[in-house]
């Protein structure tokens, strides 16, 4: 169904987008976070299909940001090496580990919170569609100071992009868990 929605919205089918297509947009948007080029290809057709409700306007703004290659506040997300991330934790930041639970139990930053951006399923790694909602539940204060990290920086970049509209104090551990271990910083199991 999702692939058909993408084809309709991109104009590969002659039929117009309908309510069923629009209902698929949250899943399409999550995929777009992982593959921004897909959303850029759909471009204006996605924006035209989702309508003008307040929720859809917010989705449209996010789509526009991805189609232009920018994010509302992603420029405000600092990228720091592991050693600087450790210093931020000492000053009151909280470490948000976005790796899978399986990776987290093998070792993690002491006192970190694990909310996976991707989940390991039988079909492979899939987006955690509840990621932003789970972060908001864990950290309801939008001024919460968070250091976001994954294994090596890929997922944390995408996680920061997903969180940038809602949180004002995001910092990304650009070297991830690999950099943390290489710097011989305190870890827990």
Active site residue 63: no
Q: What is the length of the chain? A: 189
Tokens of 171: 């910092």
Determine the Cα–Cα distance for residues 149 and 125; give it in Å rounded to an integer: 17
For the stretch 72-86, what's the b/e string if a residue is b when 16 or more beta carbons lie within 10 angstroms of its beta carbon? ebbeebeebebebbb
Determine the Cα–Cα distance for residues 62 and 86; give it in Å rounded to an integer: 31
Could you list the active site residues?
150
């Amino acid at each position: 169904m999702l692939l058909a929605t993408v084809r309709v919205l991109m104009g590969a089918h002659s039929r117009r987008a309908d309510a069923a297509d629009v209902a698929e947009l949250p899943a399409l948007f999550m995929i777009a976070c992982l593959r921004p080029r897909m959303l850029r290809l759909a471009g204006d057709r996605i924006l035209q299909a989702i309508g003008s409700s307040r929720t859809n306007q917010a989705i449209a703004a996010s789509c526009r940001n991805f189609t232009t290659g920018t994010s509302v506040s992603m420029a405000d997300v600092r990228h720091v090496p592991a050693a600087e991330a450790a210093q931020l934790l000492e000053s009151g930041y909280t470490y948000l580990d976005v790796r899978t639970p399986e990776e987290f139990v093998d070792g993690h930053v002491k006192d970190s919170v694990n909310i996976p951006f991707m989940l390991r399923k039988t079909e492979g790694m899939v987006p955690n569609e509840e990621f932003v909602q789970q972060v908001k539940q864990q950290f309801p204060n939008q001024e919460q100071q968070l250091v976001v990290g994954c294994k090596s920086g890929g997922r944390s970049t995408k996680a920061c992009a997903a969180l940038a509209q809602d949180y004002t104090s995001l910092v990304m551990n650009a070297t991830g868990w690999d950099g943390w271990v290489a710097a011989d910083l305190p870890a827990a199991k």
